[in-house]
Structure 1
């Protein structure tokens, strides 16, 4: 384990579901443009507006997933979680983490980081493109190092 940040990206299945939502939004946008052309008897050149917006939305989506497509970022000082509803404390320092446990919530495996002030961070492992055991080991390594413990 190194002293650098570890990034755990969004699982492909979850990214595909999010992309499906974006594509449905794009389809509705083009449909509305087409209906506006038909009903209001607009020039077909008007269809370039939703097409341009569609291209802009797809480029913005690609850029967002490229830059922010990670779920968990573990650094030597602490952690940060994003894209997770109901995560609890989305970030914290390792020194503030009392312990880490694995459990299931609603039938899905999660890692729960319990903080000293009573808050928790819940990380659903199925959202990660990382192997479950590898993620748990990575969290344990960061937690041990954050508390000043070294592996022998």
Structure 2
């Protein structure tokens, strides 16, 4: 899902990636509840003590939902520059468009990425599959921001 304002475009986490992350959280929760159940059976505690991990589970799920709602974006493009989060190995996580020398599309580990090469030699690698947007649409948006950021440069 993409959110646009007058000068900012926000690209959210792709649903498939969010589902994998939520699956990992749910597996963690299941292990905690299982261990709690075994502990209650071994120590012979009252089953009411099982409400503690269940309550913590609900709290964790609400916190996860809130975190993804508030900070679930991956790329934020503004008239001044860009910011990338939640991407391991991104390189330079933020930069100004006037500092970007050029942008290229390529593949890394069989996944399509957009690489922004900065004038100081650093790079920003954005895996397009993490974004809830069509790859070509993202490339067009980055190109438009880059052109507005410093003139007539083309890919």
TM-score, scaled to structure 1 = 0.94
> What SS class does the counterpart of residue 120 from structure 2 fall into?
coil
Match of 1:71 among 65, 71, 74: 74
User: C-alpha separation between the residues in 1 aligned to 2:111 and 2:28?
Assistant: 28
User: C-alpha separation between the residues in 1 aligned to 2:22 and 2:9?
Assistant: 25
Q: CA deviation at 1:120?
A: 0.2
Match of 1:45 among 48, 69, 80: 48
> Over aligned residue pairs, what C-alpha RMSD do you find?
1.5
In the superposition, relative to structure 1, how do residues 57 and 2 fare at CA in structure 2: closer, same or farther (>3 Å)? closer
User: C-alpha separation between the residues in 1 aligned to 2:6 and 2:146?
Assistant: 12
Structure 1's consecutive aligned runs of 4 or more residues displaced over 2 angstroms after TM superposition are: none
User: C-alpha separation between the residues in 1 aligned to 2:14 and 2:32?
Assistant: 27
Please list the CA deviations of residues 103-147 of structure 1 after superposition, one character each: whole Å capped at 9, or x if unmatched. 111111100000011000000111111010100010011111111
Match of 2:103 among 100, 103, 113: 100
Match of 1:59 among 39, 42, 62: 62
> What SS class does the counterpart of residue 86 from structure 1 fall into?
coil
Match of 1:22 among 25, 40, 47: 25
Please list the CA deviations of residues 67-102 of structure 1 after superposition, one character each: whole Å capped at 9, or x if unmatched. 111110001111010111110001111111110100
TM-score, scaled to structure 2 = 0.93
User: C-alpha separation between the residues in 1 aligned to 2:130 and 2:73?
Assistant: 10
Structure 2 gaps of 5+ residues are none
Asked whether 1:112 is paired with 2:131, we answer: no
